[in-house]
Amino acid sequence: MAEARPAPDPAHDPTFAELIAGRPALSLDPASGLLVEEVPLARIAALHGTPTWVVSAGTLRRRYRALAGALAAAGLAASVHYAAKANDTLAVLRVLAAEGAGADVVSAGELRAAEAAGIPASRIVYSGVGKTRAELAAALAAGVMQINAESAEEVAMISEVAAATGHTAPVALRVNPDVDARTHAKITTGRAENKFGVAYAEAAALYARMAGMPGIRPAGLATHIGSQITSGMAAYRAAYARLADLARELLGRGLPVPRLDCGGGLGIPYRDEIPPTPEAFAGAIASTVGRLGLPVMVEPGRWIAGPAGFLLASVILEKRSGGRRFVVLDAAMNDLLRPALYDAWHGILPVSPARLSAPLSPAEVVGPVCETADTFARGRLLPAFGEGDLVLVCDAGAYGSVMSSTYNARPLAAQVLVEGARLALIRERQAEADLWRGQRIPDWLGG
């Protein structure tokens, strides 16, 4: 996929009604406007201000269950390890912990967050291309279910850390299957040129060597070919078939292969994509690695959390310039980076009933940050807005709040959780004073 794509033709954008109908967390109340579950977004803005991330607990639960259910229905002994990087807010992790989810973590911070939220280490897999010795020691001390190693160099490091700390590390080898997941270049991970995993041709020999190394107990094989995969199941099937072949070879040599980690990556519809269903995903696993009869793991992030979250923002002003209309929001690229980084398309809805039914015209939807990249949408058909009007950015539950920064000294936005009619603040808006927390001005600078 090219990186600087032209804006898609707004004539083919989903309508407001289609956006709402496609997102079960949303509904429209003729009096109060858009609701998330049973809570009016206008109430959330009145209570907590904007910009605010809004997460639907019901959607998290429904999607976790749909995925776990599809895997079970395909006859797989599968465990679901939510990729905490998609949204690692403690309350979000707690909702999924209560559903029985495990976690896929990539840092000591995510490991601590998952544990703090009640996901036991025995259900946590530790992934990532570069784990420090300190992080490996923390993972072993916590007793994680599995560490996914991504290189011969890392396997050696794990062996040393485990031996030095008196642990036996359960290590799976992440294999790079060299398949093209046909997603955005910045989030494809399973090509040979990507930094991830062990080259397929080198994996069997490394696994055999690893099995004999001190402090290591082989835990199986893993793969992950990319994120926001919407192009059908062919790439998945190719990757899983290679994983199954490798597992067969290792088993044939008498090596233990206790389980197979099939990664994440299942896409969601942001605009008009038609991603594979959880049933198709489960079917691809069942027809490839499933044939081996081993336990399997999956690491979905976006599929579970993406459609469960929204970014609620206010219009600061509309400006007109050179025949164009710019809707300037109080949310910006420092909050939701995806449009700036990946040219990602996110649905944008007015919140009030009057605006939802008003005449539409094209607008550029932008934030206040001093970069042209701070653009949420180009040529988007929207009603005329006034100061203080609320807008909702859809499908922002995954890789939204977690990728925020304080660029332009903008505090991190608040985050709320909705469940039925219940509403709770799950992350306070960052205080301005906290923007400088930890900073010092050296004495010699005076003042």
For the record, the structure tokens of 396 come out as 């922002």
Of the listed 2, 370, 409, 433, which one is catalytic? 370
- 3-state DSSP percent of the chain in helix, strand and coil, to 5: 35, 25, 40
Q: Among 310, 301, 295, which residue's Cα sits nearest to residue 256?
A: 295
Q: Which residues contact 54 (CB under 8 A, 6 or more apart)?
A: 36, 41, 44, 309, 310, 311, 312, 392, 415, 416, 418
Q: How far is the CB of 404 from ligand LLP (least distance, A)?
A: 12
Give me the count of residues in the chain: 447
Q: How far is the CB of 29 from ligand LLP (least distance, A)?
A: 31
For the record, the structure tokens of 12 come out as 């083919």
Q: Is 394 a catalytic residue?
A: no
Say how far apart CA 13 and CA 271 lie, in whole Å.
7
For the record, the structure tokens of 158 come out as 């794990």
Sheet holding 26-29, edge to edge: 26-29, 33-36, 39-40
Pick 133 or 195: Cβ nearer ligand LLP: 195
What separation in angstroms does the CA of 401 have from each of 172, 359, 393, 413, 434? 30, 32, 12, 8, 17
Q: How far is the CB of 202 from ligand LLP (least distance, A)?
A: 19
Residue 199 belongs to what H/E stretch? strand 198-199
> Do 24 and 62 meet the contact criterion of CB atoms below 8 Å apart?
yes
What separation in angstroms does the CA of 158 have from each of 71, 130, 162, 282, 293? 31, 11, 6, 32, 28
Pick 63 or 355: Cβ nearer ligand LLP: 63
Q: How far is the CB of 440 from ligand LLP (least distance, A)?
A: 33
Q: How far is the CB of 186 from ligand LLP (least distance, A)?
A: 7
Pick 35 or 377: Cβ nearer ligand LLP: 377
Pick 266 or 285: Cβ nearer ligand LLP: 266
CA 242 to chain CA centroid, nearest Å: 25
For the record, the structure tokens of 240 come out as 């899983």
> Do 54 and 418 meet the contact criterion of CB atoms below 8 Å apart?
yes
Partners of 33 in the β-ladder: 29
Pick 44 or 225: Cβ nearer ligand LLP: 225
Which residues of this protein are in contact with ligand LLP, per CB under 6 A? 83, 86, 104, 127, 187, 189, 224, 227-228, 263-266, 299-303, 338, 342, 398-399
Say how far apart CA 406 and CA 439 lie, in whole Å.
14
> Do 116 and 330 meet the contact criterion of CB atoms below 8 Å apart?
no
Pick 16 or 236: Cβ nearer ligand LLP: 236
Pick 79 or 352: Cβ nearer ligand LLP: 79
Could you tell me how many helices (H) and strands (E) the chain has, helices first? 13, 21
Q: How far is the CB of 106 from ligand LLP (least distance, A)?
A: 7
Catalytic center residues:
370
